[in-house]
């Protein structure tokens, strides 16, 4: 097992290359999910705002 | 000439949003399985290289990531061109989604290459290497595209102006491909993408190709995932998005 991790003495290079790659993929997945969620939130907020503005208010009576 | 119905459907944001939501999870599963199989095969099963020893195992990720970075650029430029010519908003959405993914893959290709170069060539970076330089230019093209988009308040204008940059930048694609043939490079010449038989042992070629497919499906998985958010953002004030968000307990 430790022989496998050592990668013939170049373990630091091989494992950081694989690590960087995994991190980039994970960040991409996370970022896409977050963006989708926040876009849905914004759409929800803008739908709510419109509903509120269509309700009759005191200002309109004055 | 009558175009088939699916062609029109691909221009419909609600249809593409739904389709992406159905296809993306499957692509995600396929990607994870292929990455696991290819990774295990490349790191454990494949024998050490006669010349490079163990460090050659970066071969199972670095060329694939670099190839996907170029493919991402071609997808982005093609989508931007389609958007520009046919004023197709969804094509612009695809281009805008592909850009950050492509930029991250390009940076990752440079990073993994650097980590491979140090133990094999004795250097992390070589300013005169044509392949490294043309790939670095690709990174700046992606970043330039993103910066240009961010500079415009008006999304339509950002779409149109950035499309021109994306299309002009395509000249870098053949330069990246032929850089190792045209100029003297630390990189080796083509050993797999050539007309002749690939010059690589079959027990190394199999995991290599599995990883090519894995990173390709990975890109399209990320693209479809990102596209969903991009579509919601662009269609925020339309009726179908209203119904979508109200339906989910708004």
Whole-number Cα distances in Å, B146 to B95, B141, B142: 10, 9, 6
What pLDDT, on a 0 to 100 scale, did the predictor assign at position A61? Answer: 56
Rounded CA-CA distance B186/B132 in Å is 9
Q: What residues contact B162, with CB distance under 8 A and at least 6 apart?
A: B80, B95, B96, B145, B148, B149
Tens-digit pLDDT profile for residues B114-159: 999 999 888 898 888 899 999 999 999 999 999 999 999 999 999 9
Say what the pTM is: 0.91
| DSSP bridge pairs for B53 | B49
Provide ipTM, 2 decimals: 0.90
Where would I find the beta strands (DSSP E) of chain A?
Answer: none
- Is pLDDT of B42 > 50? yes
What pLDDT, on a 0 to 100 scale, did the predictor assign at position B191? Answer: 79
Residue A30 near chain B (CB below 8 Å): no
- Is pLDDT of B199 > 50? yes
Rounded CA-CA distance B131/B139 in Å is 12
Whole-number Cα distances in Å, B84 to B90, B164, B235, B243: 11, 8, 19, 30
With contacts defined as CB-CB under 8 Å, which chain B residues touch A29?
A: 222, 225
Q: Nearest CB to A13: which of B55, B228, B229?
A: B55
The torsion angles phi and psi of B48, rounded to 5 degrees, stand at -65, 155
Q: What residues contact B119, with CB distance under 8 A and at least 6 apart?
A: A10, A13, B55
Rounded CA-CA distance B159/B149 in Å is 7
Structure tokens at B165: 């940059």
B145 and B76 in contact (C-beta within 8 Å)? yes
Would you list which residues of chain B are within 8 Å, Cβ to Cβ, of chain A? 39, 43-44, 48, 53-55, 57-58, 61-62, 65, 100-101, 104-105, 107-108, 111-112, 115-116, 118-119, 218, 222, 225-226, 228-230, 232-233, 236-237, 241-242, 244-246, 248, 250
* Residue contact A28–B101, C-beta within 8 A: yes
Residue extents of the structural domains in chain A: 2-54
With contacts defined as CB-CB under 8 Å, which chain B residues touch A4?
A: 43-44
Count of alpha carbons within 13 Å of B232, Cβ hemisphere only?
28
Rounded CA-CA distance B248/B243 in Å is 9
Q: Measure in Å the smallest separation between the Cα of B128 and chain A Cα atoms.
A: 23
Run means of pLDDT, 10 residues per run, chain A, 62 residues:
81 93 97 95 88 68 54
* Structural domains in chain B, sorted by start: 13-247 (1.20.120)
């Amino acid at each position: 097992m430790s022989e496998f991790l050592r990668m013939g003495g170049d373990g630091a290079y091989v494992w950081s290359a694989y690590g960087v790659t995994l991190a980039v993929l994970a960040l991409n997945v996370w970022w896409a999910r977050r963006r989708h969620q926040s876009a849905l939130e914004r759409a929800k907020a803008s739908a709510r705002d419109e509903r509120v503005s269509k309700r009759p208010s005191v200002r309109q009576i004055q | 000439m009558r175009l088939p119905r699916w062609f029109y459907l691909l221009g419909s944001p609600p249809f593409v949003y739904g389709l992406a939501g159905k296809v993306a999870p499957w692509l995600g599963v396929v990607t994870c399985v292929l990455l696991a199989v290819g990774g295990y095969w490349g790191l454990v099963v494949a024998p050490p290289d006669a010349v490079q020893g163990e460090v050659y195992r970066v071969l199972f990720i670095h060329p694939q990531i670099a190839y996907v970075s170029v493919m991402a650029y071609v997808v982005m430029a093609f989508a931007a061109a389609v958007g520009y010519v046919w004023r197709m908003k969804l094509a612009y959405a695809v281009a805008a989604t592909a850009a950050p993914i492509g930029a991250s893959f390009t940076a990752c290709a440079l990073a993994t290459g650097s980590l491979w170069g140090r133990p094999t060539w004795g250097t992390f970076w070589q300013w005169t290497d044509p392949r490294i330089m043309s790939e670095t230019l690709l990174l700046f093209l992606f970043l330039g595209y993103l910066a240009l988009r961010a500079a415009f308040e008006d999304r339509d204008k950002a779409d149109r102006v950035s499309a021109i940059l994306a299309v002009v930048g395509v000249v870098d694609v053949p330069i990246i491909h032929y850089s190792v043939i045209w100029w003297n490079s630390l990189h080796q010449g083509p050993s797999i993408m050539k007309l002749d038989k690939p010059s690589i042992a079959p027990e190394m070629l199999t995991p290599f190709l599995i990883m090519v497919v894995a990173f390709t499906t990975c890109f399209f998985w990320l693209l479809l995932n990102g596209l969903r958010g991009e579509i919601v953002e662009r269609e925020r004030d339309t009726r179908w998005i209203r119904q979508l968000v109200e339906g989910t307990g708004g």
